[in-house]
């Protein structure tokens, strides 16, 4: 699972063979959440409130890049890192 960004102890990843809807994974310690790229809503899992807000703010700034990486993953291409 490629790491596409890391910040504040949070790791952002995306799977190549993952299911729809388009989403990314955010992990911190033992917590993990799946966030829909188009809706920026939690699809599954949880993070502490402070970290979840940070991930949503980051995703809002990088929504286009996240969607581009989702499309790259569908085509089996290398994913591009996204700035923290």
Judge whether 16 lies within some domain: yes
Judge whether 11 lies within some domain: yes
User: What is the pTM (predicted TM-score) of this model?
Assistant: 0.94
Judge whether 81 lies within some domain: no
Longest dimension (CA), the chain: 34
- Compute the mean pLDDT over every residue in the chain, rounded to the nearest whole number: 96
The total number of structural domains in the chain stands at 1
Judge whether 39 lies within some domain: yes
In terms of residue numbers, what domain contains 60?
3-75
Judge whether 20 lies within some domain: yes
Judge whether 84 lies within some domain: no
Residue partners of 64: CB distance under 8 A and separation at least 6:
none
With cut-offs at 50, 70 and 90, classify the pLDDT of residue 17: confident
Q: What are phi and psi of 32, to 5 degrees?
A: -145, 145
Residue partners of 14: CB distance under 8 A and separation at least 6:
1, 2, 4, 24, 25, 66, 69, 70, 73, 79
Q: What is the pLDDT of residues 56-84, one digit of tens each?
A: 999 999 999 999 999 999 999 999 999 99
């Amino acid at each position: 699972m490629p790491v596409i960004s890391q910040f504040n102890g949070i790791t952002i990843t995306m799977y190549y063979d993952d299911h729809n809807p388009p989403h990314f994974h955010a992990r911190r310690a033992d917590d993990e959440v799946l966030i829909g790229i188009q809706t920026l809503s939690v699809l599954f899992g949880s993070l502490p409130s402070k970290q979840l807000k940070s991930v949503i703010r980051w995703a809002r700034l990088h929504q286009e890049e996240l969607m581009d990486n989702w499309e790259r993953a569908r085509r089996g291409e290398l994913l591009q890192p996204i700035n923290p």
